[in-house]
């Protein structure tokens, strides 16, 4: 490692020592400005017990979870499910403080009262709502950037495996796409559109202050599956550069801040929730049934082979799947200690047979206060163990949609039938296994010390360690003949973080100032190894349990492989928030990031941002108007992107024994080892930079009942990082990495959010709302005619380019020959774009993009007494999907050979059975859809009326429907799809190839509080 970076690394231990020194300084009792006069202990005092009920001022309903504290003391309580509380106060001079999110706090003098009932009024301006903004929190009204907070009660319902699913449709500008219907599969998420070629669009995820690495943790599973959705309290999305610049180099794609639940002082509670989900395939592909097949094959001139069966092969490989979810949580606190603990178990069956995802999670969050509340220590710890078992998905689906349906699935003995000319997908189920077991431990400790009443120091130390073992097992078999093989892949990821920062807060006259300055050092270590062995004897012992039974171990077939990567990120950051009269708001942020991924000449990047806000509704001329909230926001900022392969700035050599890298030193044919360049060094590679401008308006009418926001954004990514071919053909390496000069990727759009909520005195409450995003993506000044990004699969199609990056077009543009029909021989014809009389790759056209130009979502909810109903829809339009599944399977030539298809194969009567189906616009389809994401009906029992409130303060039953229907013209399994067909690490979009079908589910739920 170079000397410059080594010097930078010395700062990390220095800051660690500084943090310890500050803590010791406080521990020794140095007086730093706090009041010296402390109250003396009360001797033989008798507390006064106060009881009461807290209700909603408008509806009269009891409010559970209201914090009731005795002002100036550590005594507190939390209202139960009916809004009732009991608290002991020291004397009649005590003042009770009642506070609840979304309501105006209220103070009541105890006096001689022992029964105090309180009605809380809704805070129409949500002044008490706090939003997490990175290295701190802020009142919603003080936010100057584009930030959206989603609370647990607003999350999507159903079978949830990762936090992205909770957000789908909840935030304007955020597009979440389920790549497949497989349990635990990756979720594609982009905030205000993708802005890179090699860097992807995944935002930075931060869990309780610990920034995660987006690297996979092993197997084909979403790395965020480790989080139990039941533990999440809020998810805050930072969308524009003025909000994300505090995370500098990792904020170009947006930032998602996840805050888990914490305990509340003054009470203790235990909650148990359980659910049972029943899932089935939502939409099967409409391949021919046996009877339809018997007619279709002869109609196209094929020879029918009829074994008199009637097999629905898709039904044979799918099942009615069951999902069990159990969660036990405990929380509370007394005095200066609060805690939250949870234990979760989810056992999910996939709708494809032999597909199971089991997850076990444990979490504990603790806060302890010391030294008269000057020192507060937060500890968060989460442990997860997952087991993911997968069948051979692609080949199994491919066989199920193409095998002759007149063939019986089972033989006379009830075993999967074996045929010489085809593969029974049930045989693949029996012989192939893919099992991944992952352990992940993530935690952080974060002490916070009030040095003075205005100055606070915080240390944040976190670790994130995961290790996994993936076994790819092929069982030995006689018919069909299979030798047997075991490949084992070990993955180990380590992520450590240490941060030190100071926060200064000061209010004086009409001015309010908050200043932040800090240092961060984060280190990542990724390692993987694999080994394999072949030729196992047929026995009852599976290879996974005794690899030593394998009989073939050669370098040709079983050469071990591995990798190890270490990356470091050092940062200095600062932010200033200023407010005048709580009306005029200013925010300025700057972060300097240094990354070991970049060259010596550009190790550090500086990322500034500025934002301003004007709370127009607080002006005197707005008093008495129907406008309850009106705020204008404007911001500009820059963020960086370092999500590129490690070591690309360094030279890479390859040593092999081959004719390509060496030559014989004598007349023999023996080639000695040779070493060649695989990559040239480039110390000038620098950060990819995203510059974003945002203009927004927040508004509220009817005392806050009607609220919303409008945001216009323009995000430009420059200094695009790309692996390119040298212009000089005489080079020792075929490619090199560089920043492409003048190439830009622009995302500009408009976001609109609107919500209406109302409560009535009769106990009825309801709400309706939604959001819509109009977005345009464009690549400009690309020096290349096309940068291929997505390739086709299937017989005769392998490696054919489907989409790519074209100058003047959006990312994910489909670059295809334009299908125009058939000639008089029934063969495909294509448009001759350049008019040279020949149809070649030069005649490819930009035929649309996989990126939607419009994303929309709307919701509704209604509640009366104990009943509540919630519905959420989401949809997109303006995007295309390339149906690679149809391209490789559903055309007339295949049907004439006895291979099953859908009616799409005979869509064109004049098509010849000798016609092939190359990649073209023929299989490009409309990807627009509208989905009923979830529909939930619940009932909360009146436990007091049942006489069980003393032991069970809350009891709730619910039923939820998930993915109940989708309206779309797309005829594949599902229009929300993105099969990974990446070319050389360049992200692909909108390709559907043998994707795992999505499920529709009904979930029955039970929630009990003790």
pLDDT tens-digit series, residues 792-840: 998 888 889 999 999 999 999 999 999 999 999 999 999 999 999 999 9
Query: Of 99, 120, 141, which one is at a domain's C-terminal end?
Result: 120
CA 855 to CA 878: how far, in whole Å?
Answer: 9
pLDDT of residue 760: 81
| 9, pLDDT greater than 60 | no
CATH of the domain at 481: 2.40.170.20
pLDDT of residue 123: 65
CA 396 to CA 392: how far, in whole Å?
Answer: 6
Q: Helix, strand, or coil here: 576?
A: strand
Q: Helix, strand, or coil here: 105?
A: coil
pLDDT of residue 534: 95
CB 364 within 8 A of CB 337: no
The boundaries of the domain holding residue 950 are 267-649+685-1009
The region of weakest confidence among 284-288, 299-303, 441-445, 655-659 is 655-659
Q: Mention every residue, 6+ apart, whose C-beta is less than 8 A from residue 477.
A: 431, 484, 538
Exposed, middle or buried by CB within 10 Å (0-12, 13-18, 19+), for 92?
exposed
β-strand pairing of 130-132 with 118-120: unpaired
| 2, pLDDT greater than 50 | no
Of 233, 261, 256, 64, whose CA–CA distance to 152 is shortest?
Answer: 233
| 46, pLDDT greater than 80 | no
Residue 58: count of CB within 10 angstroms of its CB:
15
Q: What is the mean pLDDT of residues 252-263?
A: 92
Residue linked to tokens 């010849």: 912
Q: What is the mean pLDDT of residues 32-57?
A: 62
pLDDT in tens, 765-797: 999 999 999 999 999 999 888 888 889 998 888
CB 497 within 8 A of CB 460: yes
- Whether 299 and 219 share a structural domain: no
Burial letters for 141-179: b for 16+ Cβ neighbours within 10 Å, e otherwise?
Answer: bbbbbbbbbbeeebbbbbbbbbbbbbbbbbbbbbbbbbb
| 10, pLDDT greater than 70 | no
Tokens of 922: 């023929």
Residue 561: count of CB within 10 angstroms of its CB:
10
In this structure, what DSSP letter does residue 212 have? P
pLDDT of residue 502: 96
- Whether 347 and 230 share a structural domain: no
CB 197 within 8 A of CB 782: no
pLDDT of residue 659: 62
Rg (CA), the chain: 31
Query: Of 210, 243, 260, which one is at a domain's C-terminal end?
Result: 260
Flag whether 628 is in a domain.
yes
| 29, pLDDT greater than 70 | no
CA 119 to CA 6: how far, in whole Å?
Answer: 61
Flag whether 511 is in a domain.
yes
- Whether 910 and 1005 share a structural domain: yes
| 43, pLDDT greater than 90 | no
pLDDT of residue 958: 96
In this structure, what DSSP letter does residue 503 have? E
Q: Helix, strand, or coil here: 292?
A: helix
Flag whether 39 is in a domain.
no
- Whether 252 and 281 share a structural domain: no
Q: What is the mean pLDDT of residues 284-304?
A: 95
Exposed, middle or buried by CB within 10 Å (0-12, 13-18, 19+), for 828?
buried
pLDDT of residue 381: 97
Tokens of 144: 């100057």
pLDDT of residue 199: 64
Of 146, 283, 163, whose CA–CA distance to 229 is shortest?
Answer: 163
Flag whether 59 is in a domain.
yes
CA 210 to CA 417: how far, in whole Å?
Answer: 53
CA dist 561 to 435, 524, 544, Å? 19, 21, 19
- Whether 333 and 247 share a structural domain: no
Tokens of 873: 């829809």
| Neighbouring-strand partners of residue 415 | none
Phi then psi for 640, rounded to 5 degrees?
-115, 170
Flag whether 587 is in a domain.
yes
pLDDT in tens, 140-189: 888 899 999 999 889 999 999 999 999 999 999 999 988 889 999 988 89
- Whether 246 and 301 share a structural domain: no
The count of domains in the chain is 3
CB 154 within 8 A of CB 165: no
Tokens of 448: 């916070």
Q: Mention every residue, 6+ apart, whose C-beta is less than 8 A from residue 999.
A: 181, 279, 280, 281, 282, 321, 351, 963
Exposed, middle or buried by CB within 10 Å (0-12, 13-18, 19+), for 21?
exposed
pLDDT in tens, 469-497: 999 999 999 888 899 999 999 999 999 99
Q: What is the mean pLDDT of residues 509-526?
A: 94
CB 593 within 8 A of CB 639: no
Determine the Cα angle at 36 with ends 33 and 42, to 5°.
145
Tokens of 229: 């959705």
Mean pLDDT estimate for the chain: 88
- Whether 816 and 858 share a structural domain: yes
Q: Mention every residue, 6+ apart, whose C-beta is less than 8 A from residue 602.
A: 683, 684, 685, 686, 687
In this structure, what DSSP letter does residue 115 have? B
pLDDT of residue 216: 83
Cis peptide, bond prior to residue 187, ω within 30 of zero: no
Q: How confident is the model at residue 74 (pLDDT cuts 50, 70, 90)?
A: low
pLDDT in tens, 708-732: 999 999 999 999 888 877 776 666 6
- Whether 936 and 987 share a structural domain: yes
Category of 37 on φ-ψ map: left (φ > 0), alpha (ψ -120 to 50) or beta: beta
- Whether 206 and 256 share a structural domain: yes
Q: Mention every residue, 6+ apart, whose C-beta is less than 8 A from residue 915.
A: 822, 826, 827, 828, 891, 892, 893
pLDDT in tens, 416-461: 999 988 889 999 999 999 999 999 999 999 999 999 999 999 999 9
Exposed, middle or buried by CB within 10 Å (0-12, 13-18, 19+), for 639?
buried
- Whether 244 and 295 share a structural domain: no
What is the distance in angstroms between the CA of the first residue and the CA of the last residue of the chain? Answer: 57
CA 925 to CA 930: how far, in whole Å?
Answer: 16
CB 720 within 8 A of CB 781: no
Query: Of 260, 279, 298, which one is at a domain's C-terminal end?
Result: 260
- Whether 238 and 293 share a structural domain: no
Q: What is the mean pLDDT of residues 30-54?
A: 57
Flag whether 12 is in a domain.
no
CB 184 within 8 A of CB 388: yes
CB 646 within 8 A of CB 599: no
Of 860, 852, 884, whose CA–CA distance to 972 is shortest?
Answer: 884
Which DSSP helix (H) or strand (E) runs through 71? none
CA 336 to CA 265: how far, in whole Å?
Answer: 8
Q: Mention every residue, 6+ apart, whose C-beta is less than 8 A from residue 603.
A: 4, 5, 8, 594, 595
pLDDT of residue 188: 87
pLDDT in tens, 897-926: 999 999 999 999 999 999 999 999 999 999
Flag whether 2 is in a domain.
no
Q: Tell me what percent of the residues of the chain surpass a pLDDT of 70.
A: 93
pLDDT in tens, 526-583: 999 999 999 999 999 999 999 999 999 988 889 999 999 999 999 999 999 999 999 9
Flag whether 703 is in a domain.
yes
Q: What is the mean pLDDT of residues 669-680?
A: 74
Helices (H), 49-89: none
CATH of the domain at 140: 2.170.130.10
- Whether 778 and 873 share a structural domain: yes
CATH of the domain at 75: 2.60.40.1120
| 842, pLDDT greater than 80 | yes
């Amino acid at each position: 490692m170079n000397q410059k970076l080594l010097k930078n690394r010395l700062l990390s231990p220095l800051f660690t020592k500084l943090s310890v020194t500050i803590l010791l300084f406080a521990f020794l009792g140095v007086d730093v400005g706090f009041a010296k006069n402390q109250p003396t202990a009360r001797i033989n005092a008798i507390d006064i017990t106060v009881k009461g009920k807290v209700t909603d001022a408008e509806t009269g309903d009891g409010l559970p979870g209201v914090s009731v504290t005795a002002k100036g003391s550590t005594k507190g309580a939390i209202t139960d499910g009916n809004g009732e509380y009991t608290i002991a106060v020291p004397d009649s001079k005590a003042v009770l403080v009642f506070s609840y999110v979304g309501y105006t706090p209220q103070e009541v003098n105890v006096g001689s009262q022992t029964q105090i009932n309180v009605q809380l009024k809704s805070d129409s301006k949500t002044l008490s709502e706090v939003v997490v903004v990175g290295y701190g929190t802020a009142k919603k009204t003080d936010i100057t950037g584009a930030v959206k907070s989603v609370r647990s009660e607003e999350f999507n319902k159903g079978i949830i495996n990762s936090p992205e699913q909770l957000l789908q449709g909840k935030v304007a500008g955020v597009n979440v796409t389920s790549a497949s219907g497989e349990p635990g599969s990756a979720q594609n998420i982009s905030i205000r559109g993708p802005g890179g070629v090699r860097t992807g669009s995944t935002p930075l995820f931060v869990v309780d202050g610990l920034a995660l690495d987006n690297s996979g943790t092993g197997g084909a599973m979403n790395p965020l599956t480790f989080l139990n959705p039941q533990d999440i309290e809020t998810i805050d999305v930072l969308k524009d550069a003025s909000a994300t610049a505090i995370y500098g180099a990792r904020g170009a794609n947006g930032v998602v801040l996840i805050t888990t639940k914490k305990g509340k002082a003054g009470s203790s509670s235990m909650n148990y929730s359980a659910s049972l989900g029943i899932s089935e395939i939502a939409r099967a592909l409409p391949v021919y049934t046996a009877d339809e097949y018997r007619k279709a094959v002869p109609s196209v001139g094929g020879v029918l082979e009829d074994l008199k069966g009637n097999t629905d092969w898709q039904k044979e490989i799918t099942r009615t799947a069951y999902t069990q979810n159990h969660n036990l949580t405990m929380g509370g606190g007394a005095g200066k200690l609060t805690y939250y603990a949870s234990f979760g178990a989810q056992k999910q069956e996939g709708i494809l047979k032999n597909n199971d995802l089991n997850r076990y999670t444990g979490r504990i969050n603790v806060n302890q206060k010391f030294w008269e509340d000057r020192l507060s220590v937060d500890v968060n710890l989460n442990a997860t163990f997952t087991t993911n078992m997968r069948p051979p998905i692609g080949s199994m689906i491919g066989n199920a949609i193409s095998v002759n349906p007149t063939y019986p699935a089972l033989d006379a003995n009830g075993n999967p039938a074996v045929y010489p000319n085809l593969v029974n997908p049930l045989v693949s189920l029996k012989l192939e296994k893919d099992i991944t077991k992952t352990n992940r431990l993530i935690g952080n400790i974060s002490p916070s010390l009030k040095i003075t009443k205005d100055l606070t120091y915080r240390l944040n130390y976190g670790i994130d360690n995961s290790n996994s073992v993936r076994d790819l097992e092929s069982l030995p078999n006689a018919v069909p003949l299979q030798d047997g093989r075991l490949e084992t892949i070990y993955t180990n990821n380590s992520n450590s973080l240490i941060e030190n920062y100071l926060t200064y807060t000061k209010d004086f006259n009409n001015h309010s100032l908050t200043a932040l300055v800090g240092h961060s050092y984060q280190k990542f270590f990724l390692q993987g190894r694999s080994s394999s062995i072949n030729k196992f004897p047929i026995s009852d012992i599976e290879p996974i349990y005794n690899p030593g039974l394998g009989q073939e171990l050669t370098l040709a077939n079983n050469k071990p492989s591995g990798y190890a990567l270490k990356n470091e990120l050092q940062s200095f950051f600062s932010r200033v928030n200023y407010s005048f009269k709580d009306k005029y708001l200013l925010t300025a942020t700057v972060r300097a990031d240094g990354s070991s991924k970049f060259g010596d000449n550009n190790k550090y990047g500086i990322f500034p941002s500025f934002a301003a806000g004007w709370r127009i509704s607080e002006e005197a001329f707005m008093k008495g108007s129907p406008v309850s909230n009106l705020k204008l926001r404007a911001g500009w900022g820059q963020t960086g992107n370092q999500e590129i392969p490690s070591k690309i700035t360094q030279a890479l050599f390859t040593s092999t024994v081959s004719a390509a890298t060496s030559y014989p030193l004598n007349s023999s044919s023996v080639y000695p080892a040779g070493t060649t360049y695989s990559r040239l060094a480039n110390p000038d590679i620098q950060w990819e930079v995203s510059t974003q401008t945002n203009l927004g308006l927040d508004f509220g009418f009817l005392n806050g009942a009607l609220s919303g926001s409008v945001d216009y954004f323009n995000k430009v990514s420059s200094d695009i990082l790309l692996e390119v071919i040298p212009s000089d053909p005489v080079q020792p390496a075929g490619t090199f990495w560089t920043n492409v000069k003048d190439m830009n990727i622009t995302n500009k759009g408009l976001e609109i959010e609107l919500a209406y909520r109302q409560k009535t005195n009769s106990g009825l409450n309801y709400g309706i709302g939604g959001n819509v995003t109009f977005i345009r993506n464009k690549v400009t000044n690309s020096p290349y005619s096309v940068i291929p990004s997505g390739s086709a699969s299937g017989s005769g199609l392998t490696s054919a380019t489907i989409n790519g990056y074209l100058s003047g077009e959006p990312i994910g543009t489909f670059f295809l020959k334009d299908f125009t029909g058939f000639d008089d021989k029934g063969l495909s014809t294509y448009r001759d774009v350049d008019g040279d009389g020949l149809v070649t790759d030069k005649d490819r056209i930009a035929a649309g993009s996989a990126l939607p130009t419009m994303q929309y979502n709307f919701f509704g909810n209604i509640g009366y007494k104990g009943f509540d109903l919630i519905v959420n829809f989401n949809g997109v339009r303006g995007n295309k999907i390339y149906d690679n599944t149809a391209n490789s399977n559903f055309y007339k030539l295949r049907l004439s050979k006895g291979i099953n298809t859908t009616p799409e194969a005979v869509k064109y009567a004049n098509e010849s059975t000798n016609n092939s189906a190359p990649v073209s616009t023929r299989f490009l389809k409309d990807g627009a859809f509208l989905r009923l994401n979830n529909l939930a009906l619940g009932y909360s029992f009146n436990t007091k009326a049942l006489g069980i409130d003393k032991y069970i303060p809350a009891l709730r039953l619910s039923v939820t429907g998930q993915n109940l229907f989708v309206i779309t013209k797309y005829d594949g399994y599902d229009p929300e799809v993105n099969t990974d067909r990446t070319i050389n690490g360049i992200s692909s979009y909108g390709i559907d190839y043998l994707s795992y079908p999505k499920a529709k589910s009904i979930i029955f739920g039970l929630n009990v509080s003790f």
